Amino acid sequence: MAENENTNSERSVPDPVLNRIPLYLRIAEDLQGRGVETVSSRKLAQALGLTDGQVRADLVFFGAFGRPGVGYQTQHLVTELRRVVGIDRAQPVVLIGFGSIGRALTMYEGFEKRAFEIVAVFDRDPEKIGRPAGKCVVKDVSTLPEEVARLGVSMAILAVPAEAAQRLADQLADAGVTGLMNFAPAALKLPDHVAVMNVDLMLTLERLSLRMKVANRLKR
Amino acid sequence: MAENENTNSERSVPDPVLNRIPLYLRIAEDLQGRGVETVSSRKLAQALGLTDGQVRADLVFFGAFGRPGVGYQTQHLVTELRRVVGIDRAQPVVLIGFGSIGRALTMYEGFEKRAFEIVAVFDRDPEKIGRPAGKCVVKDVSTLPEEVARLGVSMAILAVPAEAAQRLADQLADAGVTGLMNFAPAALKLPDHVAVMNVDLMLTLERLSLRMKVANRLKR
């Protein structure tokens, strides 16, 4: 589970639409990989359990790429949506926390496939500072503000204990970070211009558990 | 990000409500920890950016625990919601895949705090089979169906490459698993009675990237 906790009243595109855009991209990429040249809004809708109209309305938020009766050119849709999402070029990311989750992230091959690149890793543990972390070397978290400012990075991943999360998130926001993926089980309070996506694995497991219980109750 | 991909038309409780219930539990637990004896629907609503009415309607799905003018007894709310979510007792979970994500999960302390217990870990790599994995030893994934049936486990975590995910998910469903947390970037097709929560870190990063771009466009 992940969700945006910001309540930015200025934002023009509803959250559910923002959540669906990368899904359209996945489907278009899959079709492109299989040599399918065009895709209808109906086909995109069916893949995600939506109506044709919803798909067209979602995509219109970012410019209308389809043609009536033809649908969307798959290649064009992929190119446009990559640009819209912001993965048409490499995106540098800093990682704070080299515990079990942070370590897994530095080993994860998915990042580069999606144009994200971890350019710096920080921890406060002297035992970890100086150790290799993917293509980086773990830096002292006390250098975080100046390093982030120096690198000019706007995206960060926070994989630290809950009690350290808010203070580090504040430092990141002050240093110019405008997007944060947060693994700490903490409700971060940040300025409106900072987007936050929370990944709370226990919350996800609890939501799964609840769904299992509800489904089980329906069966009876 | 994580979301339920099931389209179970029989389900009586809407997905957004199911997603919020564990959040109410978190807030109630926090209040309980701070010795606060009662909580109003207004207070719960404010914490999550909802209306009082939404909170009351959500909780009524699972039995009305509040009293007009008094609100909810914090302790009672915690007890009831833990039962509703299904973490009032230990929940055994099997983990498939002992790569970087799987390893991080076995080291993660959050599970036990939330009553989830990894009781078996599987991988197909002969180098990994037999190695310690948290409190378990990695087992050969070829024994998955009989082990899951023998253990009587209904919840599983899938942390395997995309190409292996559907086959293993099918095996798990056949062996009696009814809830699956899926880390593989694959859209699993499973029977309606199997609940799925996807954790797709790249999708989450893309959603974050898109939000940053939209916010940046609004600023101009």
Q: Give tens-digit pLDDT for B38-53.
A: 999 999 999 888 899 9
As a whole number of angstroms, the distance between CA A157 and CA A94 comes to: 6
Which of A47-51, A171-175, B23-27, B170-174 shows the lowest mean pLDDT across its residues? Answer: A47-51
Contacts of B134 in chain A (CB under 8 A): none
Query: CB-hemisphere CA count at 13 Å for B191?
Result: 13
**Which pLDDT score, from 0 to 100, does residue B15 have?**
85
Q: Which residue of A has its CA nearest to B7?
A: A49
Does position B186 have pLDDT exceeding 50, yes or no? yes
Name the architecture of domain B15-85. Orthogonal Bundle (1.10)
Tokens of B36: 């606060």
Mutate to test the interface with B, among A192, A205, A216 (most CBs of B within 10 A): A205
User: Does A197 contact B at CB distance below 8 Å?
Assistant: yes
Tokens of B15: 């997905």
Mutate to test the interface with A, among B211, B217, B220 (most CBs of A within 10 A): B211
**Which pLDDT score, from 0 to 100, does residue B218 have?**
66
User: Does B8 contact A at CB distance below 8 Å?
Assistant: yes
pLDDT bucket at A100, cuts 50 / 70 / 90: confident
The stretches of chain B forming alpha helices (DSSP H) are 15-33, 41-48, 52-60, 74-85, 100-107, 110-113, 144-151, 162-174, 201-219
Higher pLDDT, A38 or A108: A38
The mean pLDDT value for B101-121 works out to 89
CB contact under 8 A, A202 and B10: no
Give the number of residues written for chain B: 220
Region label for B211, one of left (φ > 0), alpha (ψ between -120 and 50) or beta (otherwise): alpha
Which member of B85, B201, B215 has the closest CB to residue A210?
Answer: B85
**Which pLDDT score, from 0 to 100, does residue B64 have?**
66
Contacts of A210 in chain B (CB under 8 A): 18, 21-22, 84-86
Nearest-CA distance from B100 to chain A in Å?
Answer: 5
* CB proximity under 8 Å: B 57-86 to A: 84-86
Using only C-alpha atoms, what is the Rg of chain A? 20
Tokens of A173: 């926001």
Nearest-CA distance from A180 to chain B in Å?
Answer: 7
Question: pLDDT tens, A153-193?
Answer: 999 999 999 899 999 999 999 999 999 999 998 889 999 99
As a whole number of angstroms, the distance between CA B170 and CA B180 comes to: 11
The mean pLDDT value for B67-88 works out to 92
Residue keyed to tokens 């606060």: B36
Contacts of B90 in chain A (CB under 8 A): none
Tokens of B187: 């859209």
Query: Domain B91-203: which topology?
Result: Rossmann fold (3.40.50)
Tokens of A126: 């002297």
For chain A, give every domain's residue range.
15-85, 91-203
Nearest-CA distance from A101 to chain B in Å?
Answer: 5
Does position A220 have pLDDT exceeding 90, yes or no? no
pLDDT bucket at A8, cuts 50 / 70 / 90: very low
Which member of B85, B101, B104 has the closest CB to residue A209?
Answer: B85
The stretches of chain A forming alpha helices (DSSP H) are 15-33, 41-48, 52-60, 74-85, 100-107, 110-113, 144-151, 162-174, 201-219
